[in-house]
Amino acid sequence: MNSNIATSPYTISLKGRDLVTWLDYTVEEVHELLSLASYLKKNPHSKILEGKTLGMIFEKSSTRTRVSFEAGMLQMGGHAIYLNSRDIQLGRGESIEDTARVLSSYVDGIMIRTFETEKVTQLAEYASIPVINGLCDTYHPCQALADVLTILERKGTLKGVKAVYIGDGNNVAHSFMILCAMLGMEVVVSCPEGYEPGKEIIESTMNLAKKSGGSFELTHDPNEAVKGADVVYTDVWASMGQEEEAIQRIEDFKGYQVNEGLLAQAAPDVTFLHCLPAHREEEVTAAVIDGPHSAVFQQAENRLHVQKAILQSVLV
Ligand code: CP
Ligand code: NVA
């Protein structure tokens, strides 16, 4: 056993596992990952991934995901290779299957940010090494783990915490509601008609909430939703790939902006979260995101710690 693991009180082995969605993980595994992330936050440097290489395929832009994965690999003694799909043969039509097989013989793990979830699952199917979803159109699992770590740090607990997501029922909302429900939280999603989370995701979330003793509610009324909220979360109204809908969406999401008026209806010690990047004065006002309740930079920092926990657990 590697000496760095031996000194860590957390010894989960998820060796060889892919991370496409938290639906494939148990609540115990998630708790272990959160504990390991907290440990790594206090003990950032190790050599546990010495000699290990992570390939990072990006078909969409990124600041946080790219830099935190790369820095995380370096902090653990490993190395990361940035692969923009515009530069690799995947972008010119080489198949996912062939890409998966070839990369498996060079690197120890793959992180992919893409559009279709099927691309991530296909890559995972054909690669013989772990594949981590760094965001697709349906999920953003690494973000959600950082979100719940931030909530745990701020509130001291997860069970029974009321987390309200306001805005588009998108990838960030999906992973957030799944993970929060799994961990026994009271999850409320408030979005305009036509922008609800996917039906299957809602179904899975409700089942998870039933099992964990948490709850899930969907409402079109954001004022009703935020009453007594411990956490208020929002994300952009137009995600990557939806740029052409941006103007229509500004119209459709009127009334769903997280501003001081809305936040005033939440619990007095409410925590505001946003995965970033944000559009100030669209989905959130500057007064809120730069205000006293905001934890967005703590949340962004936590991406580094949770991803290191994931990498360490699946690579060794
Ligand atoms: N929140 C997040 O994933 O940010 P990036 O798009 O900058 O990676
Ligand atoms: N929902 C956003 C998240 C960006 C981190 C998007 O997919 O663009």
Structure tokens at 106: 């060079």
pTM above 0.95, yes or no: yes
**Residue count of the chain:** 316
275 lines ligand 1 (CB under 6 A): yes
Task: Return the pLDDT at 245.
Answer: 98
* Residue in 269, 223, 38 with CA at minimum distance from that of residue 148: 38
Tell me which CATH homologous superfamily contains domain 142-299: Aspartate/ornithine carbamoyltransferase (3.40.50.1370)
With a Cβ cut-off of 6 Å, ligand 2 is lined by 135, 170-172, 235-236, 239-240, 275
Domain 142-299 in the same topology as domain 22-139+303-315: yes
Task: Kindly give the parts of the chain with pLDDT less than 50.
Answer: 1-7
Instruction: Determine contact, residues 23/204, Cβ cutoff 8 Å.
Output: yes
Query: Going by C-beta distance under 8 Å and a sequence separation of 6 or more, which residues neighbour residue 297?
Result: none
Which mutation among 240, 242, 275, 307 tests ligand 2's pocket best, with the greatest number of atoms within 8 A of CB? 240
- Tens digit of each residue's pLDDT (9 = 90 or more) over 201-224: 999 999 999 999 999 999 999 999
- Tens digit of each residue's pLDDT (9 = 90 or more) over 68-88: 999 999 999 999 999 999 999
Q: What is the rounded distance in angstroms from the CA atom of residue 272 to the CA atom of residue 284? A: 10
Q: List helix spans (H) across the chain.
A: 3-7, 27-42, 64-75, 96-104, 117-126, 141-155, 171-182, 199-212, 222-225, 246-252, 260-263, 286-289, 296-315
Task: Return the pLDDT at 190.
Answer: 98
Task: Return the pLDDT at 13.
Answer: 82
The full set of domain ranges for the chain reads 22-139+303-315, 142-299
Chain position carrying tokens 């005033």? 264
CA trace torsion 39, 160, 176, 224 (10° rounding): -150
Q: Which ligand is nearest to the CA of 296?
A: 1
Please tell us whether the domain made up of 22-139+303-315 is placed in CATH 3.40.50.1370: yes
Residue nearest to atom 1 of ligand 2 (CA): 239
